[in-house]
Amino acid sequence: MSVNQLDPNVWVDKYSDYLYNYTIVRVNDHEVAQDLISETFLAGLKSKNNFKGEATERTWLISILKRKIIDHYRKINSNKGKAEVRMSYSDDESEGDWLEERVSDPFDKTAEDTMENEELGMAIFSCLDNLPEKQASIFRKKTIDGIDTESICNEYDITPSNLWVIIHRARKGMADCLEKSWF
């Protein structure tokens, strides 16, 4: 497989956990998170010819997922969505086309997008600092560093179910903190 080719056959196995961890912190609803990830995989399949290989498959899928999350909040017209959607685009029937066009180049960022990403990044790390130390460390290793469950369980001498309880509590703490400090 060359650098700029995608392999959709492995997306679910390879990226679904990472995409889920990314999404659940932002939507805090298991079913919505699963729906958004499914929509992301479908949009990725539809727009795979636009993939230029300038990013990894995972980064490209995350860029699609970010737009799906924004669209989700836009549709429910919540304050969270209004805070998230700070870009202008046509609000006509071509919204689906706009999404695929926008996703085709994840490096096409405006200064405002970059500034918002930096602010969100600082808010995330600030919220991580507010979590209990063990929770923050495990959350960081699993969701940010992408370390596998078995390695983390061995390092902390915990069971996989304990790990998921800790991750769930960390996500809840992160979501509550981000709700207050970012959204």
Query: At 39, which CATH number?
Result: 1.10.1740.10
Residue 127 lies in a domain: no
55: helix, coil or strand? coil
* One domain, residues 1 and 74: yes
Q: Which long-range contacts (CB under 8 A, 24 or more apart) does 120-128 make?
A: 120/182, 123/178, 123/181, 123/182, 124/174, 124/178, 126/177, 126/181, 127/173, 127/174, 127/177, 127/178, 127/181, 128/174
Residues 141-175: tens digit of each pLDDT = 887 778 888 999 999 999 988 988 898 888 888 88
Range of the domain at 62: 1-81
Residue 144 lies in a domain: yes
Q: Give every CB contact of residue 164 below 8 A, 6+ residues apart in sequence.
A: none
| Domains in the chain, number | 2
Residue 32 lies in a domain: yes
* One domain, residues 76 and 13: yes
Residue 44 lies in a domain: yes
Q: How many whole angstroms separate alpha carbon 70 and alpha carbon 83?
A: 10
Residue 124 lies in a domain: no
Per-residue pLDDT of the chain (183 residues; tens, 9 = 90+): 444 678 888 888 888 888 998 888 888 888 899 999 999 988 888 888 888 877 788 888 988 999 888 888 877 764 444 444 444 333 444 344 444 444 444 444 555 555 556 667 777 778 888 899 999 999 888 877 788 889 999 999 999 889 888 988 888 888 888 888 765
Residue 13 lies in a domain: yes
